[in-house]
Every structure is written in C-alpha cells, then in structure tokens.
Amino acid sequence: MAPPPRRLLLVLLGFLAAASLATLAAAVYEDQVGLADWHQKYIGKVKQAVYHTQKSGRRRVVVLTEENVIASLDLRSGDIFWRHVIEKNNPIDQLSLSAGKYVVTLSSGGSILRAWNLPDGQMIWETNIHTSTSSKSLLHVLSNSKVVKDNLVLVLAGQWIYAVSSIDGVISWGKEFTLDGLEIKQVVQSPDNDIVYVVGIAGSSKLAVYQLNAKTGEIVKDAQESLPDGLCGEILLGSSNVLVALDETRSALFIVDFKGESISYNKVQISEFVQDFSGTVKLLPLMSNGIIALQSSSTVSLLKLKGMDGLEVIHSFDQPASVSDALTITEKDEAFAVVQHVGSQIEFIVKVTSDLTNEIIREKVDIDQHRGSVQKVFLNNYVRTDKSHGFRALVVMEDHSILLIQQGAVVWSREDGLASIVDVMTSELPVEKDGVSVADVEHNLFEWLKGHVLKLKGTLMLASVDELAAIQALRVRSSEKNKMTRDHNGFRKLLIVLTKAGKVIALHTGDGRIIWSNLLPSLRASKSGEMPSALRIYQWQVPHHRVIRENPTILVVGRSGASSVAPGVLCILDSYSGEELNSQSFDHSVAQIIPLTLKDSSEQRLHLIVDSNSNAHLYPRSPDALNSFINEMSNQYFYSVDIQKNAIRGYSLQKSCDFNSDDTYCFSTKLLWSIIFPSDAERISVSEARKMNEVVHTQAKIIADQDVMYKYLSKNLIFVATVSPKAAGEIGSAAPEEASLMAYLIDAVSGRILHRVTHHGAQGPVHAVVSENWVVYHYFNLRAHRFEIAVIEIYDQSRADNKDVLKLILGKHNLSAPMTSYSRPEVMVKSQSYFFTHSVKAMAVTQTAKGITSKQLLIGTTGDQVLALDKRFLDPRRSLNPTQQEKEEGIIPLTDSLPIIPQSYVTHSLQVEALRGIVSIPAKLESTTLVFTYGVDLFYTRLAPSRTYDSLTDEFSYALLLITIVALVAALFVTWIWSEKKELRDKWRHIAPQ
C-alpha cells in the first residue's frame, strides 16, 4: 500500500490530467458561436424591385434577384427583413405586390403562382397553373377595384391566360387563345372599364390584340395584322392606345394603333430621328404616357410619341446610362429617373412626363469607382414635410452591388456580388516586423492617424456618439483576430474571391470584412453589350518571406465574351492592395488552365493555358520562364474531359505550334490516349482529381497484424463516374433495372484504367472527392430508395517486398524509387458502400499543413449545412466483428449506414443558403484547418479534426491550471514535511531503549 502522502500526490496528478482534458469537446457552446467563425447573408444581383412605403408599417423594398432569391429590405438601413432562396429548378419569373399586403411571385415558366405575407414573408397560398408551353410568362396585378372586391392576378404563359384571386389563390377563370404559335408579350388594363387588352405575336410577323372582360375572361373583340419584315419580340405601350414594337432587324420601329376596330400601323426608321445610329438597339421598359426609351451602343435616347406620325428625340444620354420605369405621382402625371456617369460621379435626374424640359431633381452622387457602371434603376417617391415630392432610387451596379440614393448621397450599400462567387484562393498577410511602416501594413497613413486622434478624443471624453461608434469599430478591427498582420498559428489570412461579375474581393478571415475590392476593367462589359466571363483565380507570385517590401500577386483569367471560343484575358493584382499591376488580352481562347509546379527566377509560377484548338500557351512570356519549362517539358502531361462528346483524352506537349512557328511560347499537343464511352450505355457524370498542393504525411499504412500496406500516391490519378443514359435525369426518372453507375480510376499519363466498379440500380447526381489514395463518392440507390456513399482505397503492391528488414538494411528496397506511370502498376483495391441520410450539394476534405491530422469529409447537405464526417467511418476494412487488433488500430464496427452526429455540423445551426462550394485551407498549426463555405451566404470557421492536440483551446482555464499547480506545489511541500517528521519519529523509535 502506498503511503498517504504518495496517494494524495497521485490523486492530485489525476485531478490535473482531468482538468486539462475537460476542455476537449467535440462541439461548441452557444455563447462560443461567432468567436472563431462568421456568417454573412446576401441576396445577389437585383433584377426586379417593388417598393412598399405606406404610412402604416415599415418602409421596405421587395426584390427579386438573379440568384433566385426574393427578399424584403429595410429602406432605412438595407438590412434583410426576410428572404426566401428558391431552388434553381424553380426559377422565379416575376414579382409584384397585391392589395398592399401580399407579395405575389410567378415561377417555373408560369406554372406556379405563390403569395407571401409582406410583413413576415410567410407563404399564404400556392396555386399550380396548367400551361401548354415553357415560353416567357407574364404577371399582371389588376389595380381596378371595380372588377371584384380583391385584386385579381393575371398569369399569362404561352397561349393561356388565367385570373387568380390574390386572397386565397383560387382560379377565377382561364382562357386559351386558339391562334397557333401565339406568344403573349404585353397586358394593358383599361382605366375606364373592365376591359383588359392582351397583345401577342404569332410566328415572327403576325400581331394579335385581344380585348377581354376582366370579370369573366370572355373575348370581347380580337384583331390580327401581319407586319412586314417581322418583329424581334420587344413591344412597349407608348400611350393609352398605341404600341411601339421593334422590327426583326432592330433598325426600325412599328407604331401600332390597337384600340380601333382594326390594327393600323406605321413603320419608321430609327436613323431618321436618332443621330449617329449604330450598333444593337433595344427598347427599355419605360412605359410612360407618350414617352419611350431606346438604347443603342453609344446612347440612351428619350423619345416622344407624336401619334401615329412618328417619334422625336427629347434628350440623349451618353452611355453608360440607365432609365427607370415610370412612377405615378398624381392622377395625370408620371415621373421617371435617369442615372448616368459624369466623371467619377453618377448623376441622378428625375423628370415628369407633363414637362420634360424641366427636371425635378438633378443630383451628383459620389460612389466607389470599383462598382462599375449603373445597370438598373428603381425609382420611388415620398412626401416631404412641405408636401412636395421627394425621390429615392435603388441602383444596381455592374459589380452586382446595390445602392440606395436619396438627397444627393448614398444612404446605404450592399456588396451582393459576394452571392455569386466562382472561385476562391487565400493569401498570407504581411509579416509584422520591426522597421515595417505602419502605413505599409494598414495601406493608409491618414486612416492610422485618424484612428489615434479618435482614441485620444475618447480618452478625454470629447467624442460624439458617432465617434464613439467609430472607436468601437476600430477596437474590434484592431483586436487580435482582426489584425492586418500574420499570426504564428496561421489563422489570419486573406480570402480572395472572384465573383461572376468579374470583381475580385479580399475578405479578412478574422471577421469577414472587405479589405479591398477591384472590378477588373478587362472583365467589364464592352460598349457593344457583350458580357465577359470570369473563370479562375490563381497564385502568381509569392515572394520569399524575408523580402518584406515585395507583395504577393494573384492571377485572374477570364474570357472577353460569354462564348467558349471568345479571346481570353489575363490580369495580375497585388494581393495586399488589390491594385491591377498588369493586364493582357489573348489572341486565343481559353479552354483549360493548368497551373504548373515550376517557377522562374523571380518566383512567378508558370501556367499553361490551352485553347479550343488544343494548343498550349505558356505564361509568363519571359525567356527565363521558357527555359525552365523547356527543361521539364518532357514530363508535362495533361488531360481533358469532354462531357458533350463523352470522352476523356490525354496529351503531351511538342516544341512549337503547328499554325504559328514564330511564337516560341506556344506549344502544340500530341494525343496520347483517349477513352470514348459509348453514348448508348454510359454518360460522363463527374470527374475529380487530387489537389496539387495536398500534403501526404506517410506513404505507408500499418494495419492490425503489424503488416504494412503502401498507398498508391500518384498525382496523375483521376476519378470518373458515368451513369446509364436513362439514369442521367432526375432521381426517379429511370427504373432500377435501367439505371447503373460506373466508377473508374484512370491514370492520366497512360490512360490505363486501374480499377472499375459498377453499381447496379444507382443514379446520380454524383459528387466525389479524391485525396491521398482514396476516393469517396455519393449517389442514389434506386433499389434501396436511399442515398449511398462509397469509398475506394487503392494500394501499391509493387512495394510489398519493402517489409523485409534485411533488404532494408542492405539497401535493396525500393522505397526511394520514383513512382512512374509508364509501367503497369500492381495495385490492390478495397471498397465499401454505406447508406447515407442526406442528399449532397458539395464535398471536400480537410487539409492540414503536414498531413498528419486525421482527415474529415466536409459534406454540404441539401439543408445548406456542412457536416464533418470522420474518414474512419468510411474505412473499407470495417467489419461486423473486428478483431482485438483491429479495434486497437481504430477500426469501427460495420453498420449499414453512416452516423449523423448533430455536434458534427460545422455550421452549427446556421444555413449557407444555396450552398455551392466548400474550401479547406491549412493553417500553420497542424491540428487546425480553416473552412470557408460559399453560396448566396458566406460562412467561415476553424476546425480541428483530431482536436487541438498541439495547442491549448481558447476555453482552456488558465486560472484552474494555476490553482492546480499552486495546490500541487503546496501538497508536495506538506507531504515533504510529513515525510521528514515521520522519518524522524522512526529514527527516535529505533534509538529509544527497549
């Protein structure tokens, strides 16, 4: 038996161990959410807006966006009252307000009509409408209260028109027009009676006008007329009885009178009244009494209708400019707004239709120059205290941001371009060292001095309320996690994202604030209206960490048009400031971008850009880069996946282009292999490869019986999944006997199929991720009516003799032999499938600095959350009754389904609406990875798959540790005194006489 002092010491040591382990929890408490993570909500680019500014209730604007979002925004602050993100397979066509309390939306080509409660966004009713075609649908809310007690909602799609009650969604009446090929373009409500005029086009030249009774839907009168040269489909209401239509060549206008017994028209050439007419012309949706707007490549012209005789130009605005819809302000008067760019400002002009020579408002507003040109304007009015009319405008910019302009200033702005991220990368922050200028780190010396002045005023209690708020914001920004310098754990970084609009934005990982943004001029729309497309973003140059004055740079690659054969563009930006350092336009297209592992002497990373003719172009175009590439060209291979042609092809490079031998930076390609899947049996669903920057800690895996299995760690391994043609549609579109899924592991250099497995009765969509020597993919099992996740692990059998210790000592092993794709590998494959509860939107795998930490799968579910699933649950060696050795190895007993642990949700209880991608970024701390998830929303957090074994957690109780150490030292001192006294008593006992 241990003596009492020793027993007490053991108890104290056990207490210390328990206290140190108590903080290792798999989840976080509610009050810890937000300390190491952040969540941002967006809505996307606004394409329609409706104001609700009645005296009773909150003033708000309801918007519909290109991301299929409907939302209600506060007009005072721009905050979201409520929003709904609708699935992409149910696109919303139009939005309107009814009876001042309902938001009515029309979606899915006019087949679904919904009403939402305006105050809280709850859905009131939903009505399914039968339509015969998927042509463009129209929504029109009748404003005449004489028709019925509640406002009727007219839905027009194809050859059908329906009237639906806005109170309960009941269809009052429906009418089908018998004219073949009719497509309804316009609805006009008569203000004097219950007549509704419906205007449509049959074919390309026949114009049809119907007069309907709004109560019953009966056709009162109809008229048809064939117009010469045809129509392009753009029709606007010029006045109460006159339509203006653009002809098929977009060079002339038809002025059509439709209120008489028959249709009469007059054709006028645009060049007769618009000077210097050129380029593409379109009619803007300004429907005011006798006023229309015409947009050409160089100007926006306001035209006044002179009856049936023609049009005259009232005013012209140089592009870029935007015109709002007409807004009724009195019974006989309407107002509209024009916003144009004047230098570094935008000019906000409001005119009324009764007196176009005068301007109610002309204001110049300062805006950020990195927002681009104005795309749309939505005008709203309010009554001032002096009973005069004031105006505000919601302005949609080229970078998809929105601004509210009122009284010559920007009241608020929203950076909603972040709802359409197409690519993400990270950049390190500047190093904090002695001798580094504060202005270099903070980018702006004036802001640094201003911050210190504010802090001084706060200390002297001289700061105003606004200044106190600014001081608080500075304190948050200057906190440890929000500093603009690197930290030793690698948690502070810049998330650099590329949006669909061609804007590059840098976010701080500390709180998600925008550090800089730049709408690249090379990726902006041209005057001809051609929209460019942003493709990818890469690291271009990462200077050595000792060179503090050199900033890292990034590369952005895009196309000058939306077509895949459009010429490419290249931009190089400073990572710390966002300044564009260089830009270049290609004379070739961009089909594929291949970042190489090679660098030139200035540490610029080499990239190959493959065009549509399969020629590879080297960038940067410098002799140094060319020499580096030529030395390694014989080892450079790439592959392409052509989903349209159902083929995969592998290529090598040759010295010069066939068509241009003078271009030394252009290389022709040689087809080495191709795999063409038979279209009547298989269709390519997905292809994935390993990330080039993935770090693998060990190439061997020690199993339970102390045997060694060597991973097949080839960076040329690609995974391809194909499905049968009938299973290529939505889930349930094929019977189990007709559906199958084939999974392939292919070597990208030789084209050799290393492994193939077939899942009968399986259907897509397929999502997959490749890491180290394993592949995990997700699909739907039609036979079991459940989702499944399958795993394939591939091992290298050619290294199996490395287990001989004698050969290892004698140096006859092949551990250091290079892995080559030229020889046929001896591989062993293990696989297993598991049932999984959720459908999946995206998949990723955690990455750490050294690859030591256990892997976790990051699964984006259809609930728009991210689940972290331990890779051990997807071990193909799991069995029902694992042996004791396998249990010691960590193998989990086999179950038919994978567990869903609520504490494993990385996003906690939050949702990342319309989730599209998950990115894992290694930190310097090996145990921790940074996770960034994007969709319409953004979410960022830190994750420790194997817990923070190399650091103390943020919630670690240092006070408890100090108390424990003090108690332990005191206990040691007390036990030492007790031990000395006991030893002294024992000595006296031995000396005392018997």
* Rounded Cα distance, 424 and 916, in Å: 12
Could you tell me which residue, 579 or 33, shows the higher pLDDT? 579
With respect to residue 570, please indicate whether it lies within any of the assigned structural domains. no
Could you tell me which residue, 331 or 265, shows the higher pLDDT? 265
User: Is the confidence at residue 146, as pLDDT, over 60?
Assistant: no
Question: Looking at the structure, do residues 854 and 961 belong to the same domain, yes or no?
Answer: no
Tens of pLDDT, residues 869-887 = 999 999 999 888 888 888 8
Query: What is the model's pLDDT at position 721?
Result: 95
Query: What is the model's pLDDT at position 6?
Result: 46
* Rounded Cα distance, 624 and 620, in Å: 9
- Going by pLDDT thresholds of 50, 70 and 90, the confidence category of residue 664 is confident
Q: What is the mean pLDDT of residues 510-526?
A: 86
* Rounded Cα distance, 828 and 795, in Å: 5
With respect to residue 762, please indicate whether it lies within any of the assigned structural domains. yes
**Between the CA atoms of 282, 283, 285 and 288, what dihedral angle is there, to the nearest 10 degrees?**
160
With respect to residue 473, please indicate whether it lies within any of the assigned structural domains. yes
Question: Looking at the structure, do residues 964 and 895 belong to the same domain, yes or no?
Answer: no
The owner of tokens 């939050």 is 910
What's the total number of domains in the chain? Answer: 3
- Going by pLDDT thresholds of 50, 70 and 90, the confidence category of residue 953 is low
Of the candidates 349, 347, 322, the residue with the CA atom closest to the CA atom of residue 335: 349
Query: What is the model's pLDDT at position 20?
Result: 40
Tens of pLDDT, residues 302-351 = 888 887 777 888 888 887 888 998 888 887 788 889 999 888 889 999 98
Question: Looking at the structure, do residues 842 and 982 belong to the same domain, yes or no?
Answer: no
Question: Looking at the structure, do residues 893 and 967 belong to the same domain, yes or no?
Answer: no
Query: What is the model's pLDDT at position 571?
Result: 93
With respect to residue 746, please indicate whether it lies within any of the assigned structural domains. yes
- Going by pLDDT thresholds of 50, 70 and 90, the confidence category of residue 27 is low
Could you tell me which residue, 189 or 958, shows the higher pLDDT? 189
Question: Looking at the structure, do residues 885 and 962 belong to the same domain, yes or no?
Answer: no
Question: Looking at the structure, do residues 812 and 874 belong to the same domain, yes or no?
Answer: yes
Whole-model pTM? 0.86
**Which of 910, 930, 948 is the last residue in one of the domains?**
910
Q: What angle do CA 511, 516, 518 make, to 5 degrees?
A: 140
208's tokens: 């049809």
With respect to residue 355, please indicate whether it lies within any of the assigned structural domains. no
Tens of pLDDT, residues 797-839 = 877 665 555 555 555 555 555 666 667 778 899 999 999 998 9
Question: Looking at the structure, do residues 734 and 860 belong to the same domain, yes or no?
Answer: yes
**Which of 466, 482, 498 is the last residue in one of the domains?**
482
Query: What is the model's pLDDT at position 435?
Result: 44
With respect to residue 400, please indicate whether it lies within any of the assigned structural domains. no
The conformation of residue 441, written as its DSSP 8-state character, comes to H
- Going by pLDDT thresholds of 50, 70 and 90, the confidence category of residue 538 is very high
Give whichever of 180-189, 256-265, 646-655 has the largest mean pLDDT: 646-655
Helix (H, G, I), strand (E, B) or coil at 760: strand
Give whichever of 18-22, 113-117, 207-211, 794-798 has the largest mean pLDDT: 113-117
Question: Looking at the structure, do residues 979 and 860 belong to the same domain, yes or no?
Answer: no
Q: What is the mean pLDDT of residues 159-171?
A: 89
Question: Looking at the structure, do residues 985 and 871 belong to the same domain, yes or no?
Answer: no
Tens of pLDDT, residues 213-244 = 888 888 888 888 888 877 887 888 877 778 88
User: Is the confidence at residue 26, as pLDDT, over 70?
Assistant: no
Q: Which of 111-120, 195-204, 701-710 has the lowest mean pLDDT?
A: 701-710
Q: What is the mean pLDDT of residues 54-69?
A: 85
Of the candidates 676, 641, 899, the residue with the CA atom closest to the CA atom of residue 789: 899
- Going by pLDDT thresholds of 50, 70 and 90, the confidence category of residue 660 is low
Q: How, if at all, do strands 252-257 and 264-269 pair?
A: antiparallel
Query: What is the model's pLDDT at position 11?
Result: 42
Question: Looking at the structure, do residues 893 and 977 belong to the same domain, yes or no?
Answer: no
Question: Looking at the structure, do residues 730 and 877 belong to the same domain, yes or no?
Answer: yes
Of the candidates 173, 215, 210, 163, the residue with the CA atom closest to the CA atom of residue 188: 210
**Which of 910, 936, 967 is the last residue in one of the domains?**
910
User: Is the confidence at residue 659, as pLDDT, over 70?
Assistant: no
- For 871-955, strand residue ranges (E) read 917-922, 929-934, 938-943
User: Is the confidence at residue 41, as pLDDT, over 90?
Assistant: yes
Of the candidates 803, 766, 771, the residue with the CA atom closest to the CA atom of residue 788: 766
- For 398-544, strand residue ranges (E) read 402-406, 409-414, 421-428, 493-499, 503-508, 514-519, 533-541
- Going by pLDDT thresholds of 50, 70 and 90, the confidence category of residue 534 is confident
With respect to residue 12, please indicate whether it lies within any of the assigned structural domains. yes
- Going by pLDDT thresholds of 50, 70 and 90, the confidence category of residue 507 is very high
Query: What is the model's pLDDT at position 822?
Result: 67
**Percentage of residues of the chain with pLDDT beyond 70:** 87
Structural domain boundaries enclosing 827: 1-27+709-910
User: Is the confidence at residue 12, as pLDDT, over 50?
Assistant: no
Q: Which of 250-264, 473-487, 669-683, 711-725 has the lowest mean pLDDT?
A: 473-487
Tens of pLDDT, residues 886-931 = 888 888 899 889 988 888 999 988 999 999 999 999 999 899 999 9
Q: Which of 201-205, 716-720, 787-791 has the lowest mean pLDDT?
A: 201-205
* Rounded Cα distance, 283 and 246, in Å: 7
Of the candidates 573, 961, 650, the residue with the CA atom closest to the CA atom of residue 822: 650
Query: What is the model's pLDDT at position 934?
Result: 96
Question: Looking at the structure, do residues 868 and 757 belong to the same domain, yes or no?
Answer: yes
Query: What is the model's pLDDT at position 938?
Result: 97
The conformation of residue 563, written as its DSSP 8-state character, comes to S
User: Is the confidence at residue 24, as pLDDT, over 60?
Assistant: no
With respect to residue 714, please indicate whether it lies within any of the assigned structural domains. yes
903 exposed, middle or buried (CB, 10 Å; 0-12, 13-18, 19+)?
exposed
| Mean pLDDT estimate for the chain | 84
**Percentage of residues of the chain with pLDDT beyond 90:** 40
User: Is the confidence at residue 155, as pLDDT, over 70?
Assistant: yes
